[in-house]
Amino acid sequence: MRKEVFNKFINSWVFKIIISISIIVTIFAVTNYGLNKSYAVALQSILSSSVYIVCGLFLPLFVTTINIYNIFNNNYFFKIRLDSKQNEIKELLKCSVYANSIMFLVVFLLLFVFLNLSCASNLEFMNSYQFYNIPNIIYIIFYIVRLYAIMIVVSLFNSFLLEKFSTKVVIGLNIVFYGIFFDYNYVPFTDGRTSILDTSPLIFEYLQLNSYSTFLTEILCSVFALLLPILLLKVILSFNLKRSDVNSFKYVVLNDTEYTIRTKKFILIFYFAYLIIYSLIKIFVMNYNDNGFNVV
């Protein structure tokens, strides 16, 4: 099912627009943050840029999430086989993770292609990163993995919100989220975190190149910070699924009704209009005689 939903997505015009915009954003990022720099430094500069993170990562994945939800929600015959709302939401989240993971990979492949064209002559991957005493390549891999985890967590929240609210409401919430991210104060390297107790619960801080006392401290703080929204989502899902889960018969009836209304609405309108008109004719025409109306 996940492959089927994603195949429908990549064959849509929305996917082509996402790829086109991603190419434009990547070219902009490389020309503004990557020229006259080594490959490692350029990659770090781009991936810590709020403009690129929002326009090059958050937005493509958000549009992907919306379209995956629409494709999934319109696949009535598959949904009916899931038996319950609980299985439906779980499968929706799996589809979202699958599609957004592939889109994340595609976006990064585009970034690497354009960086190869401009910075391939000077890599500096083995140079030491800050004062961590580790090669740049090790920190870059860690940063990308953390970035991927954040994107997937946000995508899961968006998928769940789309199931509960209208698309316009979810778009509005994401605009607020991006606005907070743009306005979030950059943490200077002089204010480095020294222990896991300094962990910030806001994920915005982990979209920056911050300074910690050690590389291990940064790893632990990142894991702890990501566990908070994951646990929150799990609690919300568990509570919601317990309330919304229904038996198979009721779920099938509700889905049949929804499907009929959505796909046969013009026939239903015509049918009810026919009943109303026929009733009026029967009352005011067929029951009329010389003595007036004979309404029974």
pLDDT digits (tens, 9 = 90+) for 236-252: 887 776 665 544 444 44
> What pLDDT is stored for residue 66 in this prediction?
94
pLDDT score of 293 more than 70: no
Please state whether beta strands 292-293 and 288-289 pair in parallel, antiparallel, or not at all (unpaired).
Answer: antiparallel
Evaluate whether 209 touches 44 at the Cβ level (below 8 Å): yes
| Percent of the chain clearing pLDDT 90 (strictly above) | 30
- Give the mean pLDDT of 179-183: 82
> What pLDDT is stored for residue 89 in this prediction?
83
pLDDT score of 8 more than 50: yes
> What pLDDT is stored for residue 252 in this prediction?
47
The answer for residues whose C-beta is within 8 angstroms of residue 80's C-beta and 6 or more apart is 252, 255, 256
Evaluate whether 9 touches 51 at the Cβ level (below 8 Å): no
Evaluate whether 79 touches 251 at the Cβ level (below 8 Å): no
- Give the mean pLDDT of 18-35: 90
pLDDT, tens digit, for every residue of 95-126?
Answer: 999 999 999 999 999 999 999 888 767 778 88
| Percent of the chain clearing pLDDT 70 (strictly above) | 74
Cα(7)–Cα(14) distance, rounded to whole angstroms? 12
Cα(273)–Cα(89) distance, rounded to whole angstroms? 37
3-state SS class at 135:
strand
How far is Cα of residue 37 from the mean position of the Cα atoms in its chain? 32
- Give the mean pLDDT of 154-179: 91
Evaluate whether 185 touches 203 at the Cβ level (below 8 Å): no
Q: Considering only CA atoms, which of 147, 146, 149, 176 is closest in space to residue 161? A: 176
| Global confidence as pTM | 0.77
For the purposes of burial, counting CB atoms within 10 Å of the CB of 144, is it exposed (0-12), middle (13-18) or buried (19 or more)? middle
Q: Considering only CA atoms, which of 62, 22, 15, 18 is closest in space to residue 174? A: 62
Most confident of 8-12, 72-76, 255-259, 260-264: 8-12
pLDDT score of 81 more than 80: no
